[in-house]
């Protein structure tokens, strides 16, 4: 079975949406209930910078990938040699 490579981006995109919502909630909570103190601001800033770095790094790493290619699933990783067996009964 073959699968288009770009389909890998679908679960990643869904994960990214959930991650983004939770991240925004976490940052808002930190700034709201941390009363905009210095540790709250610095830790939120670290988290944002780290997340942006990961996302940018991922985008840069994947820029050369050919997303139109197919991904073989369940296919044997080792190609067996084809053997031409001739029946002794065939003339």
Partner 1 sequence: MNIQPTFPNMLPGERVVLMLHRHGFVAFRIALVYLLLALVPVAAWVLVGLRTDIFVDATGAGYALVTLLLAAYALVWGLLFFVSWLNYYLDVWVITNERIINITQQRLFHRIVSEQKLYRVQDVTWQIEGVLGNIFKFGNVTIQTAGEQGKFTFEHIPDPEAVAKSVMHLLEQIENQMGANTMARMDGELLEGSAAPKTRATSPEPRSAPPADAAPPSGAP
Residues at the interface with partner 1 (CB under 8 A): 5, 8-9, 12, 15-16, 19, 22-23, 25-26, 29-30, 33-35, 39-40, 43-44, 47, 50-51, 54-55, 57-58, 61-62, 64-67, 69-71
Q: What is the DSSP string of the chain?
A: -EEEGGGGHHHHHHHHHHHHHHHHHHHHHHHHHTTT-HHHHHHHHHHHHHHHHHHHHHHHHTTT--TTSEEESS--SSPPPP--PPPTT--
Q: How far is the CB of 15 from partner 1 (least distance, A)?
A: 6
Q: How far is the CB of 27 from partner 1 (least distance, A)?
A: 8
What is the rounded CA–CA span in Å between residue 27 and residue 34? 10
Q: How far is the CB of 37 from partner 1 (least distance, A)?
A: 8
Closer CB to partner 1, residue 59 or residue 85?
59
Closer CB to partner 1, residue 39 or residue 88?
39
């Amino acid at each position: 079975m073959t699968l288009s490579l770009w389909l890998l981006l679908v679960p990643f995109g869904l994960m990214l949406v959930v991650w983004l919502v939770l991240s925004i909630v976490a940052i808002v909570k930190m700034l709201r209930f941390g009363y905009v103190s210095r540790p709250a601001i610095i830790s939120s800033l670290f988290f944002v910078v780290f997340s942006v770095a990961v996302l940018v790094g991922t985008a840069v790493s994947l820029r050369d990938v050919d997303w139109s290619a197919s991904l073989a699933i369940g296919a044997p990783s080792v190609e067996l040699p084809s053997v031409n067996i001739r029946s002794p009964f065939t003339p």
